[in-house]
Amino acid sequence: QAVKKAVPVSSETRQLLEIAIQWAKATHGAFDPTVAPIVQLWGIGGEHPRIPADNELKKAIGLVDYRDIKISGDTVFLRRTGQGVDLGGIAKGYAADRVTAFLRSHGVASALIDLGGNVVAIGSKKDKTPWNIGIQNPGLPRGNALGFVSVTDRSVVTSGTYERFFEANGRRYHHILSPQTGAPAVSGLESVTVVSERSADGDALSTAFFVMGIQNATELLKDLPDIEAIFVRREKDRYRIEVTEGIYDRFTLLDKTAAVFRLKR
């Protein structure tokens, strides 16, 4: 509808769109909330996922551009027919922030909110020690952790290839897409975890870092002193875990076959 006329949205939707656009700018479109045309073509997570044809993808890629979202008051307009917004890469984080604010406003001083890959720790545990948040082993069923990070009052969000995918022709197609190629992002990463104050930021950034790859992400992290990250890659027969300096001492390795490195920004 928004390509025909400016459509009214709730103030929450407008706020969320603004945060999404902010991160799209900062990540030079690695995170882009207008990926909807590409997401729809693949249908990953839906009932009929498929590999799109090249010409379809080309057309869809051309429609992806966050600069075409026009917000005016509480209305949203998209410049071109066929464009669409998909907030799947940030909405869960935003929801977690709203739950956090709600609990805090009711005086909750200690809680763990887990929306699946999106965790917010309020305060510390009852015994005053930090919350320990597991970092999923990308190759094993849910619940198997490579290690954990100890936090108080922080959001911990992970984006990984193992979250949602389908298999065709012996290949695995996951749900984090490169707005440039229109295909599942191939950056050598298995997962990216972002530790931040606001979960919406962590959600957008974990998706963006995954698309950008560790080198570009490390470069961007120089401008984001309050953001910490954990990058997991596969290295022959072990996992290589890179942890930014600010949380290096708060990371505990559980999988002793994996190797942990301190990441300087």
| Interface residue list for Mg ion (CB under 5 A) | 89, 203, 206-207
Residue 88 touches ligand ADP, criterion: CB under 6 A: yes
CB 255 within 8 A of CB 146: yes
Helices (H) and strands (E) in the chain, counts: 7, 15
E strand or H helix at 216: helix 214-221
Alpha-carbon distance of 145 to 190, in angstroms, equals 14
The beta strands (E) that lie in 169-245 are given as 171-174, 189-196, 228-235, 238-244
Of positions 120, 177, 189, 260, contacts ligand ADP by CB under 6 A: 177
Question: With CB under 6 A as the contact rule, which of the stretches 106-114, 135-143, 170-178, 238-246 interacts with ligand ADP?
Answer: 170-178
Residue 89 contacts ligand ADP per CB under 6 A: yes
Select the residue interacting with ligand ADP from 83, 137, 187, 207 (CB under 6 A). 207
Residue with the shortest CB distance to Mg ion:
207
Q: Which residue's structure tokens are 């984001």? A: 224
C-alpha 207/C-alpha 112 separation (Å) is 22
31 binds ligand ADP (CB under 6 A): yes
Tell me whether residue 95 or residue 260 sits nearer to Mg ion (CB atom).
Answer: 95
In contact, 196 and 205? CB cutoff 8 Å: yes
155 makes contact with ligand ADP (CB under 6 A): no
Residue of closest CB approach to ligand ADP: 88
User: Please, which residue, 162 or 260, has the CB nearer to Mg ion?
Assistant: 162
Smallest gap from residue 147 Cβ to ligand ADP (A): 20
Report H helices in the chain.
Answer: 11-26, 36-42, 54-62, 91-105, 199-212, 214-221, 245-248
d(CA 207, CA 177): 9
Nearer CB in complex with Mg ion: 203/242 = 203
30 Cβ contact list (under 8 Å, min separation 6) = 178, 179, 208, 209, 211, 212, 216
What is the distance between the alpha carbons of residues 73 and 8, in angstroms, rounded to a whole number? 9
- E runs forming strands in 45-110: 69-72, 75-78
Task: Work out how close the CB of 236 gets to ligand ADP at its nearest, in angstroms, rounded to a whole number.
Answer: 26
Q: Which does 39 bind (CB under 5 to 8 A by kind): Mg ion, ligand ADP, none?
A: ligand ADP
Using CA atoms, how far apart are residues 195 and 149, in angstroms rounded to an integer? Answer: 9
Q: Which is nearer to ligand ADP, 33 or 213 (CB)?
A: 33
- Select the residue interacting with ligand ADP from 117, 134, 138, 213 (CB under 6 A): 117
In the bound state with ligand ADP, the residue whose beta carbon lies nearer, of 117 and 249, is 117
CB of 203 or CB of 228, closer to Mg ion = 203
> Rule CB under 6 A: which residues touch ligand ADP?
31-33, 35, 39, 45, 86, 88-89, 92, 117, 159, 163-164, 175-177, 179, 203, 207, 211
